[in-house]
Structure 1
Amino acid sequence: MLKKTDCCQGVVNRKDKDGNTALHRAAAKNYPQMLKLLLACKADKNVTNQAGLTALDVARGQVNNRESINILGVCSFAGVSTLYKLWQLIVKILTEASTEIFQDMDGISSDDRNALLVILGLLLTATYQAILSPPGGVWQGAVFIVAFFLTLGLLKPFPRGFKTALQVLLAFFAICFQASIYPIIPFYFYVPLVINIFIFLVFVIMMSMCTASRVSKISVMVLGCWLLVGVIYQSFASFGS
Structure 2
Amino acid sequence: MRFYAIGDIHGHLDQLIEAHRLIDEDRSRVRDPDAAVVHTGDLVDRGPDSKGVIDHLIAGRARGAPWAVLLGNHDRMFLRFVRDGASHDPAIKSGKSWLHPALGGATTLASYGVAAEDGDFAPAREAAAQAVPAAHLDFVASLPLWIETEAHICVHAGIRPGIALQQQTEEDLLWIRDDFLRETADHGKLVVHGHTALKMPTFYGNRLNIDAGAGYGRPLSPVVVEGRKAWMLTETGRFLLPAP
Q: Which has the higher strand share?
A: 2
TM-score, normalised on structure 1? 0.25
The structure with the larger Rg is 1
Normalization by structure 2: what TM-score?
A: 0.25
Higher relative contact order (CA 8 A, sep 6+): 2
Normalized per residue, which structure has more helix?
A: 1
